[in-house]
Amino acid sequence: MRLRDIWAKIQSFTGETMHRAARWSIQFRVLFLGILTSTLLAQNGSGVFYDFNAEAPGKIHKVSVADLPAPRATKSAVNPPEMSPRPVDAIPKTLPGFKVNMYATGLDEPRELRAAPNGDVFVAESDKGEIAVFRGVTKDGKAEQTSTFATGLHDPFGIAFFPPGSNPEWVYIGNTDSVVRFPYRTGDLKARATAQTIVAEIGRISSHRSSLRARRNCRR
């Protein structure tokens, strides 16, 4: 038998042996976990809810539907973030020769920024239910003009100008539960008319924060 034939048989034997060893290892681990699960459940009785004091590596806690409270029987636990004031000296750093200034302050949960074709910046203030507009920049880095474009919205988030391009005719706003639009001409700082409802309902209240995008082949 030639040397390369002997080497091929050695490789074949080695590969098959390793494959069998890996298969036996997996089967052993599955069997071990099954025995461990049965043992833990037997030791802990029903094996349902435990507090953190009972947590440990390898412990399994079984929770069934019967263990859960009825829907809305208890108050939901919430842990929202808290607003912390910005330290006076907390300013983003930039390259030498540049300076970062505060452009606008006092916004109420600003969630979306959208630039109009002329450079005006539209901001959705969700908690306030308004759309703010900022125009230009002073030598101190502040907005030259500030205006409220629309009020009376419901947790607004998405903003889109339509049709796309340099002369949009509408500003679409995505509320948390609907989509509305306002007639628009480039340079408007306030809505020209009341909102038109495009989509009356897009889900339950507070279940959506809708971002919007305009496509060129859409009709409205």
Q: Is the pLDDT of residue 36 over 80?
A: no
pLDDT computed for residue 79 by the predictor: 84
> How large is the average pLDDT for residues 122-128?
95
Mean pLDDT score, 205-214: 55
User: Can you give the pTM of this predicted structure?
Assistant: 0.61
DSSP for the chain, written as a single string: --HHHHHHHHHHHHHHHHHHHHHHHHHHHHHHHHHHHHHHHHHTTT-----GGG--TT------GGGSPPTTSSPPP-------PPPTT------TT----------SSEEEEEE-TTS-EEEEETTTTEEEEEE---TTS--SEEEEEE-S-SS--EEEEESSSSS--EEEEE-SS-EEEEE--TT-SS-SSPPEEEES-SSSTTS--------TT---
Specify the higher pLDDT residue, 42 or 121. 121
CA dist 172 and 68 (Å) reads: 43
What pLDDT score was predicted for residue 39?
45
Query: What angle is formed at CA 98 by the lines to CA 97 and CA 102, rounded to 5 degrees?
Result: 155
211 closest CA partner among 129, 116, 112: 112
